[in-house]
A and B are shown apart, each in its own frame.
Chain A
């Protein structure tokens, strides 16, 4: 990879990270949507950007409240040079340094640790420090390169780092679930093994206290003989530390200098049976800083993971869509006496609508247009089953009424969800004889060559709802130039921006005045008018049409 310029950032807790400037515009500010989120008192929500332009990096103030400074000098739009120090709002709790593209950078050089960590800390091992830095690095690398770290990976890293940092024996994380209850996520020992939840006796009183006060609590045997201390003793523990995991949610209309909304997402709990030395204030601070970074890291990874899962799901939907399209392979049938065309536009990835056109062995053609109640995958699955039954029934030479009757029995017997389908199915022969069943579907339009129209409406029941439903075939004779137009309710119930329905009458008129066109042109005209009517509004339902034109 080509080397990019980087930012070396030391946060208020003395935690360092290196951020590659991978984007042409790299944003900095307090809000979470920035490329670098700076929880500094001097920073505005969208404070500034670093823009890569004509081979140089420019620091641009994007309307911050307290100004942007390079090496102590206030700037609006200035080229950055190697080792320039950037300060937001003149507050130096964050240290941001620009590292030019060609300069080597020493990751986490020991000399540059922040002031809080700098004091001598006897109990804090070098590896614990390294752990904390590693965690920060993990997060940044993960953000920069979209590595597929799962939320649980992050939680394990956090617990391992915390156990080491506090020289505890074991640690665990409880997170607040959607119902607002603390639930167990991960437990680890100091040898980095997973510990089963049942082996982890937890002092619930200390956890409750931390949840209530949102402050770290440390309990040791020998402290005041409170209930909590008793429970710690009862569990055979010498020490328990519980740290709140808090997320800061930045609010849109918030003043740039306020703190944002604190939200408890869970707790980190550490304990030890061994007598441990006094945990120093510095260690505690570091542990809290770890918890803070951890909350942020976890939240980021969780969001990223969710979006990856969503993409995966979308790919699966796409596949389902392709399968469904493959199930409707024939969208037109031409014969000497008539043309038949069909088209379906799902409003989601997959439709509950479907059509089926098939040539029968005896030369007749069967056509079906159906609409499964409900939407999405479950509707599409029932549609696929129904299509299979219909094809098999027609292929075996059954009439539309027998097809509907069999399909009804199949669905009533197999489906216990409240699903059914409405359907128009028909067989047309070369003499213009149309044998059809309308099972609870919108009546198809019959437009005669001379401008007369009829509705092919019989009141047969929907398919798949009642075991007692019966279906009967109706017969209609079609003459040269006559048109039969079938549609799903996605056509007539389409709504325009004024809330007006497309409606039955508009469709009837459209078909009536299109009767001289070919089947293909009639279909196109209706779909075009429908699109113009809804002009740009999202499609509310699947739209399916079938047009039959006698020659």
Chain B
């Protein structure tokens, strides 16, 4: 999985590319979010548009990242989760926790 950062206003967007599954990908995401929050970049939008597959460990890394940002006074939201990701978020009850958006401008404005 590749992870690229870009800024849109005060929001940092994490563009993920590839599967968010057990192993290096989930580790990468979690570590990068911790670094960003430590670096005082607390408004994070994770772009899942190019993430075809998420497994339970991947969900775990989103949960951990979310909690980490929240505990440090930040916010973490999701952009364009795939149908499969939405299903997984729905089953696990996480749609009630994560704010998800289909549109970047609306997402950025919501912070």
Q: Which A positions have Cβ atoms within 8 angstroms of B?
A: 371, 373-375, 417-420, 422, 439-443, 459-462, 465-466, 489
**Are B30's CB and A418's CB within 8 A?**
yes
B1 within 8 A of A: no
Smallest beta-carbon distance A364→chain B, Å:
26
Among the interface residues B26, B60, B95, which one has the most CB atoms of the partner chain A within 10 A?
A: B60
Complex Cα distance, B60 from A223, in Å, reads 65
**Are B97's CB and A466's CB within 8 A?**
yes
Complex Cα distance, B91 from A314, in Å, reads 35
Spot the interface stretch: B11-19, B44-52, B61-69, B101-109.
B61-69
Given A371-B56, A420-B60, A459:B67 Cβ within 8 A: no
Given A373-B59, A374-B57, A459:B22 Cβ within 8 A: no
Partner of A462, one of B30, B61, B93: B93
**Are A461's CB and B60's CB within 8 A?**
no
Which residues B23-44 have CB closer than 8 A to chain A? 26, 30
Complex Cα distance, B96 from A371, in Å, reads 20
B8 within 8 A of A: no
Partner of B93, one of A371, A373, A417, A461: A461
Not counting A373-B57, A375-B57, a sample of 7 additional A-B residue pairs whose C-beta atoms are within 8 angstroms of each other reads A371-B56, A417-B64, A418-B63, A420-B63, A441-B91, A462-B59, A462-B63
Smallest beta-carbon distance A495→chain B, Å:
12
Complex Cα distance, B90 from A442, in Å, reads 10
Q: Which 5 A-B pairs have the closest CB atoms?
A: A418-B64, A440-B92, A373-B56, A418-B60, A461-B93
The residue in chain B whose Cβ has the minimal distance to the Cβ of A373 is: B56
Complex Cα distance, B107 from A457, in Å, reads 29
Which residues B71-92 have CB closer than 8 A to chain A? 90-92
Q: With a CB–CB cut-off of 8 A, which chain B residues contact A462?
A: 59, 63, 92-94
**Are B61's CB and A418's CB within 8 A?**
yes
Smallest beta-carbon distance B77→chain A, Å:
16
The residue in chain A whose Cβ has the minimal distance to the Cβ of B58 is: A373
Given A418-B30, A442-B91, A459-B96, A465:B57 Cβ within 8 A: no
**Are A461's CB and B64's CB within 8 A?**
no
Among the interface residues B56, B59, B67, B97, which one has the most CB atoms of the partner chain A within 10 A?
A: B56
Complex Cα distance, B96 from A439, in Å, reads 13
Complex Cα distance, B67 from A419, in Å, reads 12
**Are B22's CB and A374's CB within 8 A?**
yes
Complex Cα distance, B91 from A439, in Å, reads 9
Q: With a CB–CB cut-off of 8 A, which chain A residues contact B96?
A: 459, 461
Among the interface residues A373, A419, A461, which one has the most CB atoms of the partner chain B within 10 A?
A: A373
Q: With a CB–CB cut-off of 8 A, which chain A residues contact B91?
A: 422, 440-443
**Are B56's CB and A374's CB within 8 A?**
yes
**Are B93's CB and A460's CB within 8 A?**
yes
**Are A461's CB and B61's CB within 8 A?**
no
**Are B64's CB and A422's CB within 8 A?**
no
Q: With a CB–CB cut-off of 8 A, which chain A residues contact B30?
A: 418
Smallest beta-carbon distance B96→chain A, Å:
7
Q: With a CB–CB cut-off of 8 A, which chain B residues contact A420?
A: 60, 63
Complex Cα distance, B2 from A518, in Å, reads 49
**Are A373's CB and B60's CB within 8 A?**
yes
Q: With a CB–CB cut-off of 8 A, which chain A residues contact B94?
A: 440, 461-462, 465
Complex Cα distance, B94 from A462, in Å, reads 8
**Are A374's CB and B93's CB within 8 A?**
no
Complex Cα distance, B67 from A422, in Å, reads 18
**Are A459's CB and B60's CB within 8 A?**
no
Smallest beta-carbon distance B34→chain A, Å:
11
7 example contacts (A-B, Cβ-Cβ < 8 A) are as follows A371-B56, A373-B56, A418-B30, A418-B63, A420-B60, A440-B94, A459-B93
The residue in chain B whose Cβ has the minimal distance to the Cβ of A418 is: B64
Among the interface residues A460, A462, A489, which one has the most CB atoms of the partner chain B within 10 A?
A: A462
Complex Cα distance, B56 from A420, in Å, reads 9
Smallest beta-carbon distance A399→chain B, Å:
19
Complex Cα distance, B91 from A400, in Å, reads 18
Q: With a CB–CB cut-off of 8 A, which chain B residues contact A418?
A: 26, 30, 57, 60-61, 63-64
Q: With a CB–CB cut-off of 8 A, which chain A residues contact B93?
A: 439-440, 459-462
Smallest beta-carbon distance A77→chain B, Å:
51
Among the interface residues B57, B59, B64, B92, which one has the most CB atoms of the partner chain A within 10 A?
A: B92
Partner of A419, one of B60, B92, B95, B97: B60
Q: With a CB–CB cut-off of 8 A, which chain B residues contact A489?
A: 56
**Are A461's CB and B97's CB within 8 A?**
yes
Complex Cα distance, B56 from A516, in Å, reads 34
Q: With a CB–CB cut-off of 8 A, which chain B residues contact A373?
A: 56-57, 59-60
Q: With a CB–CB cut-off of 8 A, which chain A residues contact B60?
A: 373-374, 418-420, 465
The residue in chain A whose Cβ has the minimal distance to the Cβ of B87 is: A504
Q: With a CB–CB cut-off of 8 A, which chain B residues contact A460?
A: 93
Q: With a CB–CB cut-off of 8 A, which chain A residues contact B90?
A: 459
Smallest beta-carbon distance A422→chain B, Å:
6
Complex Cα distance, B26 from A373, in Å, reads 12
The residue in chain A whose Cβ has the minimal distance to the Cβ of B27 is: A418
Smallest beta-carbon distance A442→chain B, Å:
6
Complex Cα distance, B71 from A465, in Å, reads 13
Complex Cα distance, B23 from A47, in Å, reads 43
Complex Cα distance, B56 from A489, in Å, reads 10
Smallest beta-carbon distance B88→chain A, Å:
9
Complex Cα distance, B104 from A529, in Å, reads 44
